[in-house]
Every structure is written in C-alpha cells, then in structure tokens.
Amino acid sequence: MPGACIANVIDYIDYCHFSNTVLNIIFLIGSNDSSNSPYIDYTRSQYNSLIEKCHLKFPNAVIKFVKLLPRKSNKVNSVINRINNILYDVCKQYTNVIFLDHYALFYDFPAHFYKIHLYQSSTHLNATGCRLLSAFIRNNLPKVQHHSGYYSRFF
C-alpha cells in the first residue's frame, strides 16, 4: 500500500477474510509514520493493534516486520531509528512475531555507501537496493518442498 501509514493497514485488514492457511505475513511499514515525529510514541500502540488484528484474522501466521530502511536524511533517520527500537520492543512481546534486522545489508559497507549506491531518491531504493532487500526477505522465509521434490522459498 504505497503511502500508507500503520493505521491504513489496520483498516485494510478489516476487509480480509479469516484464514487458517496464511502462514507468513511480512510488513515493511512505519516509515510514513516518521513524518509525524511528534506522535512517534503512538506508533507503539499502532504496531500492537496491527499484530493483534493479524493474530485474530490469521491465527496460524508468523508475522514478520522488516526493520525500517534508512533514508538519506540524518534527521529522518533519527526518527526511523526510534521507530525501529519501538518495533523491536513490540515484536519481543508476542509469539510468532519476528523482527527482521537487515543491518548488515545497508550498514556493513563503507560510510554512506547505501546513500550513494542503493537509493534512487531520498526515500526509495533503486533496482540494486530492491534486489538486496527482496533477497534478504526471501532468505528469511521458510523453505517449502514442492511435489517435484525441489525446495523453494514460500512467498
């Protein structure tokens, strides 16, 4: 949901049907909430509401939250770091909720590498950044054996 905040996703889940077959839910959400930095502590209750609603609608799902991506702006990054800390704390409070930390993906490079080589704008990843992030997410999904005998990532 491009441009969505956590509250928008919570509302969207109301339209989803109950399902025991959904096994994985992956969220990368909260960056747009960083624009409301005076209300940053409100994001904790929003994340809690999102998790609780997902547990009701999809009781067999493992919910995974991808750490929010850094931005080119250090001012925005300070807010994103606060949201990431909140999200990490919230994830620890629940069973079947996992915080996916991609720190090495963006920060284990020379200083500011990600700002120069992985972004197309101050906010959005370029093709290389998207490939790195999608590979990271795919590698954090369980393997599923197909009827052919081959394994693949469930996505």
Query: pLDDT per residue over 61-114, tens digit each?
Result: 999 999 988 777 778 778 888 999 999 999 999 999 999 987 766 666 655 566
Q: 4-13, 29-38, 114-123, 132-141: lowest mean pLDDT where?
A: 114-123
- In the chain, the domains with their CATH numbers are 6-153 (3.40.50.1110)
Query: pLDDT per residue over 106-138, tens digit each?
Result: 666 655 566 566 666 666 777 877 788 888 888
Name the pairing type of β-strands 62-66 and 97-100: parallel
The CA distance from 57 to 24, in Å, is 12
Average pLDDT estimate for 27-54: 83
Q: Is the pLDDT of residue 144 over 80?
A: no
For residue 152, what pLDDT is reported? 44
Distance of CA 62 to the CA centre of its chain: 13
Q: Is the pLDDT of residue 38 over 70?
A: no
For residue 41, what pLDDT is reported? 75
Distance of CA 56 to the CA centre of its chain: 19
Across 113-151, b (16+ Cβ under 10 Å) vs e yields ebbeebbeeeeebeeebeebbeebbeebbeeeeeeeeee
For residue 153, what pLDDT is reported? 44
Q: Which two tokens stand for residue 98?
A: 């996992």
The CA distance from 152 to 155, in Å, is 9
Q: Return the closest-CA partner of residue 13 out of 61, 67, 80, 83.
A: 61
Confidence of residue 150 (pLDDT cuts 50, 70, 90): very low
For residue 155, what pLDDT is reported? 36
